[in-house]
Amino acid sequence: MVRTRFAPSPTGSIHIGGMRTAIYNYLFAKASGGKFILRIEDTDAKRSKKQYEAEILKALKWLGCFPDEDFEKGGPYGPYRQSERKEIYRHYFEKLRKSDAVLYPCFCNAEELLKMKEEQQKQGKRIGYDGRCYFREKSEVERFLAEGRPHSYRLRLPHKSINFKDLIKGEVKIDLSSLSDPVILKSDGGFTYHFCVVVDDIEMKISHVIRGEDHLINTAYHLLIYSYLDENPPQYAHVALMVDPYGKKISKRTGGSTFLEMKEAGVLPEAVVSYLLSTGLGQEEIFKSMEEAIKAFNIEFLPKGKTHFDAGKLYSFNAKLIQSLSEEELLQRAQEGNYCQPYDLLERERLLEWLKAWKENIESLKDAGRVIQIFLCKQLDYELTDLKIITQEIREALEEVIDSIENQAGAVELLDKLVEVASSKNISKGSIMKVLRLAVTGQLKGPPLPTLLKILGTKKSIERIKNYLNASKKAR
C-alpha cells in the first residue's frame, strides 16, 4: 500500500511551503488509494512547542488533508511524536552498530566546531566537519571515554557515490566524499534527524517521500543508513522549492504566507490547493473540492523549477472561488469562520439579497464578513475624512428629504425625493449620491445605490442618514 507522510517540526507557524508538502503527499496517497500520516519531528526540545503542533493539525484539517494516522487519533505504528520513540531509536542504533557502519565518538564541542568553520572560511575550504575525531589515536579515544568526556557518535562516510532514481528529478548521483560525517547520536543522548527519519519511515512503512529539493543531499545520508540497516528505502520525489519574491526560501517570516495569516485574511482552503497545484500545472485551474484535486493529481506535474510565492495570484484564486459560492454558502462560511456576528433569522432573506448585491466586491471571507457587518450594524463607523466631505447645501438637502419622507409616512421614495431636492438646490446628482452612499454603507464604492436602499428599507436608511449627519456635525 502507498503510505506517505508529512513530518514537520513544531518550531514555528506552518507556512505555504509546509502546506504545499502536506498537500502533495496527501493527494498522492489518496490518488493511489493509500494512507497519509502526520508525524511530528520534535527532537529539537528547546524550540518545539505544543501550540505549533496543534496549529499544524488544525491547518491540515482546514485544508482537507485529514491524516489517517497522527498523534491525536493514533494508529498501528505510533507513537507519532519523535520525542516518544526513543526506545525504538535505541534498538535501531544497536542494529546500526552491529552492521558494517563505522560509528566513532566525536569529542568536539560547539566552540571547537565554530572555530573549525571559521578557519575553513578564511582558507576558502569546504565548510563541514573534517573528520578529526575519526583520526584520533585509539589510546586517546579510550582515555577520553574513561574520563567521561562528553561526546557524540558520527557515521563515517565511505568513499563512494549514492545513486537513486527520483520520481521528479530522474537519475540522481551524490558523491559522499563531498559531504561531512553526520552525527547520529548527540552528546545529550538524543538522536539526530538523519537517523530518526530513517527509523520512523521504516517502522511506519512509508512507501513514498515527497519533499523539497533542499532535502536532496539528506537523501544520500538516509539511503546509506538504509543500506547499513538492510532495509528497503521509500521512493523519493524532490520538488523544486517555492521561494519568496526575493528568491529566498519561504519561511514563517514571509509576509502573508502562514496558515494563521491566511485564515485571518479569509482565504479559502480550496484557493490554497488550487493555487499550489496550478504552480505545477503551469495553468490556472480551480478545484472546488479535494475530491476534484485528487482526481486531477499527477506527480509528474509537480514543479521541476523554482516557483515564486505570489500572494496576489493566491487572492485571485480566492476571489474566483468566492464568486462560485452561493450566497447561502458564503454566509455560512463567514459565520463558521467567525468573520461576522450572529444575526436574527428574520433578517436572513434580506441579508442574502445584500450579499448577492455585493458579491462582485467580495474577494475573501474577511470581505464577506465586513459586508455582512455593514448590513447588520446598528450604527456605522465613519472615517473622519468621509465625515468632512459633506457641504452645507447637501446637509440641508438631506435634512429636507428626511423631514419630507417622515411627514409623508414613506409615500415618496427616498432616492426620488433626494434627486428632486438636489435639482431644486442646484446640487449635482453625483455629489449628493456620494454622500448618501457614505451615509448608508460607510463606503465610497459598492453596488448600485438603488439596490442597496431597497434592501435596507426606508426606515433603516433614514436612521443611517441621521447618524451620519450627527457624526459629521461633531467632526466639524
pLDDT at 252: 67
Pairwise CA distance, residues 48 & 9, whole Å:
7
Here the cell at position 296 is 486531477
Separation CA 108–CA 97 (nearest Å) = 21
| 252, 366, 417, 434: the active-site residue | 252
Closest CA to 258 of 272, 279, 245, 275: 272
Per-residue pLDDT of the chain (476 residues; tens, 9 = 90+): 999 999 999 999 999 999 999 999 999 999 999 999 999 999 888 899 999 999 999 999 999 999 999 999 999 999 999 999 999 999 999 999 999 999 999 999 999 999 999 999 999 998 999 999 999 999 999 999 999 999 999 999 999 999 999 999 999 999 999 999 999 999 999 999 999 999 999 999 999 999 999 999 999 999 999 999 999 999 999 999 998 888 888 876 676 789 999 999 999 999 999 999 998 666 788 999 999 999 999 998 898 888 889 999 999 999 999 999 999 999 999 999 999 988 889 899 999 999 999 999 999 999 999 999 999 998 999 999 999 999 999 999 999 888 887 765 444 578 888 888 888 989 999 999 999 999 999 999 999 999 999 999 988 999 999 999 999 998 87
Beta carbons of 418 and 411 less than 8 angstroms apart: no
466 is catalytic: no
Q: Tell me the CB-side half-sphere exposure of residue 329, using CA atoms within 13 A.
A: 8
Q: Is residue 191 part of a domain?
A: yes
pLDDT, residue 45, reads 84
Q: How far apart are the first and last CA of the chain?
A: 73
Predicted pLDDT at 189: 94
Does residue 275 sit within a domain? no
Q: Where in 9-82 does DSSP place strands (E)?
A: 35-38
In a domain, 366, yes or no: no
Give the residue numbers spanning the domain of 138.
Answer: 86-239
- The CATH number that applies at residue 179 is 3.40.50.620
Angle at 107 between CA 102 and CA 109, to 5 degrees: 130
Domain end (from 212, 239, 266): 239
Residue 130 in domain: yes
Burial 341-375 (b: 16+ CB within 10 A, else e): eebeeeeeebbbbbbebbbeebbbbbbbbbbbbbb
Amino acid at 419: V
Is 186 exposed, middle or buried (CB count within 10 Å of its CB: 0-12, 13-18, 19+)? middle
Residue 113, pLDDT score: 96
Does residue 401 sit within a domain? yes
Cα–Cα dist 68/308, whole Å: 31
The answer to the question of residue 97 being in a domain is: yes
The CATH number covering residue 471 comes to: 1.10.10.350
The predicted pLDDT at position 413 comes to 78
Q: How many domains does the structure of the chain reveal?
A: 2
- Domain endpoint, select from 204, 219, 239: 239
Q: Of 219, 239, 259, which closes a domain?
A: 239
Residue 353 C-alpha cell reads as: 439579497
61 located within any domain: no
Residue 342 lies in a domain: no
Which cell is 153 given?
557518535
